């Protein structure tokens, strides 16, 4: 495990589920972490979360010098970012809030520090609009949980410099992430849009009584989800075509696929549908505890990520 030589001190702003996971990941890669969050009890919750994640990160393999003791908590936002080489922000998904937050961080952070947002759907062009130095503001959207899942979507705003995007991509890659550069701002970025497309049809199928929540989950978890965990939709299609590859698949299935697209649903998130899905999840969960499922999921993810690393990239 290695780190970017120019980035050794990271500020984590907002230490909820995502922020705490980021903090654990940065610490595991031998970085100093200054964290801040105005919520009552935030420091205690952060330290508990990092301690909870640490055994999994130890199994991944810690970087030289990695230590929980390199975590510092600050009551003041300005103090937390004042010596940071890189800032990872994880605040509420409200544009007005983020504009003001980034304005304050921009005023307090060192001139060369990169200011990155974990925002799931907001446009970084709006977030950077109140900054005196908007060229250093970038979106670095992780996939939950960040201490396990490698994906980070890197997106520049209208005023973000190409040099900052390059540095951000290099930093994330150096700490074990798989950054992708999203070249245009779109709602929800890339991964969330792809998820949303699947959720839309899953909710539609429940709404139409086609299948139970449990059977729809099984259809993905024991079918295409297994292949998607190995490689993405286009490479999977390519392999489906045998020697002819994706050209063969599209020649023979292009028409049927387009026909399926036309038949996909467009459900509304009504109270009735929400209740139906929630009930289905409760039935699928049964007597199992959510915490036990999370632990089992994380173990499988760890083993899968290790196996993918040992095999080499297939995408």
Question: In the chain, what percentage of residues exceed pLDDT 90?
Answer: 89
pLDDT for 105: 98
Residue with tokens 């952070």: 109
Q: Tens digits of per-residue pLDDT, 118-154?
A: 999 899 999 999 999 999 999 999 999 999 999 999 9
Res. 2: pLDDT tops 60: no
Sorted by where each starts, the structural domains of the chain and their CATH numbers stand as 9-181 (3.40.50.720), 191-311 (1.10.1040.10)
**How does residue 13 score in pLDDT terms, banded at 50, 70 and 90?**
very high
pLDDT for 315: 66
- How far is Cα of residue 104 from the mean position of the Cα atoms in its chain? 25
pLDDT for 197: 96
Alpha helices (H) in the chain, listed in sequence order: 17-28, 42-60, 77-81, 95-108, 124-127, 162-174, 191-207, 213-221, 224-228, 233-240, 245-263, 271-285, 290-311
Q: Tens digits of per-residue pLDDT, 151-199?
A: 999 999 999 999 999 999 999 999 999 999 999 999 999 999 999 999 9
Res. 213: pLDDT tops 60: yes
pLDDT for 209: 97
CB atoms within 10 A of CB 29: 23
Pairwise CA distance, residues 12 & 2, whole Å = 20
**How does residue 3 score in pLDDT terms, banded at 50, 70 and 90?**
low
Res. 5: pLDDT tops 80: no
Mean pLDDT for the stretch of residues 50-56: 94
Give the chain's end-to-end CA distance (angstroms, integer): 22
pLDDT for 312: 74
pLDDT for 1: 44
Bigger pLDDT: 301 vs 27: 27
Q: Tens digits of per-residue pLDDT, 60-118?
A: 899 999 999 999 999 999 999 999 999 999 999 999 999 999 999 999 999 999 999 99
Nearest Cα neighbor of 141 from 83, 107, 192 is 192
CA distances from 7 to 11, 12, 176 (A): 11, 14, 14
Q: Tens digits of per-residue pLDDT, 232-279?
A: 999 999 999 999 999 999 999 999 999 999 999 999 999 999 999 999
Bigger pLDDT: 308 vs 198: 198
pLDDT for 4: 59
Pairwise CA distance, residues 27 & 314, whole Å = 29
Res. 309: pLDDT tops 90: no
Pairwise CA distance, residues 127 & 134, whole Å = 9
CB atoms within 10 A of CB 127: 25
Mean pLDDT for the stretch of residues 218-231: 94
- Calculate the dihedral angle through the C-alpha atoms of 43, 45, 47, 51, rounding to the nearest 10 degrees: 180
């Amino acid at each position: 495990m290695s780190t970017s030589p120019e980035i050794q001190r990271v500020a984590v702003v907002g230490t909820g589920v995502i922020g705490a996971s980021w903090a654990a990941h940065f610490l595991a890669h031998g970085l100093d972490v200054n964290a801040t969050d105005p919520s009552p009890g935030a420091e205690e919750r952060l330290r508990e979360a990092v301690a909870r994640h640490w055994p999994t990160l130890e199994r991944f393999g810690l970087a030289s010098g990695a230590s929980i003791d390199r975590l510092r908590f600050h009551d003041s936002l300005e103090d937390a970012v004042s010596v940071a080489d890189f800032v990872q922000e994880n605040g509420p998904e409200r544009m007005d809030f983020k504009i003001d937050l980034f304005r304050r961080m921009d005023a307090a952070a060192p001139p060369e520090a990169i200011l990155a947002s974990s925002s799931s759907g907001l446009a970084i062009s709006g977030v950077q609009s109140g900054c005196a130095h908007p060229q250093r503001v970038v979106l670095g959207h992780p996939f939950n949980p960040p201490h396990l899942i490698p994906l980070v979507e890197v997106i520049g705003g209208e005023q973000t410099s190409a040099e900052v995007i390059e540095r951000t991509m290099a930093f994330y890659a150096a700490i074990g992430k798989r950054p992708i550069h999203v070249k245009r701002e779109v709602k929800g970025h890339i991964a969330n849009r792809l998820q949303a497309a699947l959720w839309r049809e899953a909710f539609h199928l429940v709404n139409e009584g086609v299948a139970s929540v449990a059977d729809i989950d099984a259809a993905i978890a024991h079918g295409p989800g297994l292949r998607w965990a190995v490689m993405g939709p286009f490479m999977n299609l390519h392999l489906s075509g045998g020697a002819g590859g994706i050209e063969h698949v599209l020649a023979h299935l292009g028409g049927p696929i387009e026909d399926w697209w036309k038949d996909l649903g467009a459900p509304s998130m009504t109270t009735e549908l929400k209740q139906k899905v929630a009930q289905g999840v409760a039935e699928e969960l049964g007597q199992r505890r959510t915490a036990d499922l999370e632990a089992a999921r994380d173990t499988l993810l760890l083993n899968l990520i290790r196996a993918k690393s040992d095999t080499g990239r297939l995408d």
